[in-house]
Amino acid sequence: GAVVSQHPSWVICKSGTSVKIECRSLDFQATTMFWYRQFPKQSLMLMATSNEGSKATYEQGVEKDKFLINHASLTLSTLTVTSAHPEDSSFYICSATRQGGARSKNEQFFGPGTRLTVL
Amino acid sequence: QKEVEQNSGPLSVPEGAIASLNCTYSDRGSQSFFWYRQYSGKSPELIMFIYSNGDKEDGRFTAQLNKASQYVSLLIRDSQPSDSATYLCAAGGSQGNLIFGKGTKLSVKP
């Protein structure tokens, strides 16, 4: 159990367009979902934390108007990169914590990631 | 600032040897600690978590926690080339989040 999916797994888009990435918990209800970004050979960087039905909490330096997060249900969160530019090219990874029954409330289950390339 | 520190490596060990990965954390309030493995181009996958002082063993992996020293380690016995990856240490935060270290790159040489 505790499977998280992401869609798409990779996307190439033109500069100036918007890209939506979906994160779904397939077999559990996610208390909280997290969005990370990882540039090549660099560490995971937390972008934002989202709870179902609430506004996302963004980390310092992350533009909330550029990276729109919607957490409409306990199994789905979306990240929209608006007006994407080449510097937004990165590996975007979501994770989720499980509501109830988790060995630790902090345990995060990661999606497989989405590789975004902006031309 | 709550932080988790890891040596970035690379840590190189021969096949069959024990790999020892270390991590320190700054927040004494952290109750749970996690080791994730991340292969290049892939997302992290959980290896183990630990919340009690002492050792916790799972197959070839042993996690060790010393809350007094704010120190967590991961030992990998009989290291295999397939263990070559970046290992991320994380401490549980009070908001249900994880505070990640920057990771240690492990290379197991055949």
In angstroms, the CA A88 to CA A82 distance is: 10
Measured in degrees and rounded to the nearest 5, phi and psi for residue B83 equal -80, -10
pLDDT at A102: 56
Say if CB A43 and CB A57 are below 8 A apart.
no
Q: Report helix, strand or coil for A88.
A: helix
CB contact (8 A) between residue B43 and residue A107: no
At A74-109, the pLDDT tens digits run 999 999 999 999 999 999 999 999 876 556 778 899
Residue range B66-88: average pLDDT?
97
B93 CB-contact burial (10 Å; exposed 0-12 / middle 13-18 / buried 19+): middle
Residues of A (93-112) whose Cβ lies below 8 Å from B: 93, 97, 103-112
At B12-50, the pLDDT tens digits run 999 999 999 999 999 998 999 999 999 999 999 999 999
At A4-19, the pLDDT tens digits run 999 999 999 999 999 9
* Residue from A93, A80, A82 nearest A33 by CA: A93
Say if CB A30 and CB A24 are below 8 A apart.
no
pLDDT at A103: 65
- Interface A–B counts its CB contacts (< 8 A) at 56
